Amino acid sequence: MFTSPGVQISIYPRIRSWSNKVRNPIETSYKSVKSFLPFTCSTKFIFRMLIFLLDVLVYSLYTILKDNVKMRTFKSLISKNIENISEIEIYLSKLEETLTNTTGLFLRR
């Protein structure tokens, strides 16, 4: 029996190898998520939520396609397809203003 790193219990070698087989890909995938996260200075909640949802979508696409496409190629394809992200922020700020005004009207009744 061996002692598992960081844990004070003894485990059999087969269990330890199985644990490492399962655990390592999970930790590696969490490390690769950071490369997909964009940086934004916007303080608008709705814009930050949109960015987060787009991140989830892009990462999900990458996990589906990662056997066929390298990360660098995938990023270049995505960046070529995204145009004028600032226009989306302007649209969302107008949408947020409209929703705020509409909510205000309903709350006054």
- DSSP H or E stretch at residue 57: helix 45-65
Q: Where are the beta strands (DSSP E) in the chain?
A: 2-3, 10-11
In whole angstroms, give the CA distance from residue 9 to residue 16: 11
78-81: list long-range contacts, CB under 8 Å, 24+ apart: none
**What does the pLDDT read at residue 1?**
46
pTM of the model: 0.37
pLDDT tens, per residue, the chain with 109 residues: 445 555 556 666 776 676 666 666 666 666 666 665 666 777 788 887 887 788 777 777 777 777 777 777 777 776 666 655 666 677 777 777 887 777 777 776 5
What is each CA distance from 1 to 19, 20, 80, 95, in whole angstroms?
14, 16, 53, 62
User: Domain spans of the chain?
Assistant: 1-36, 40-109
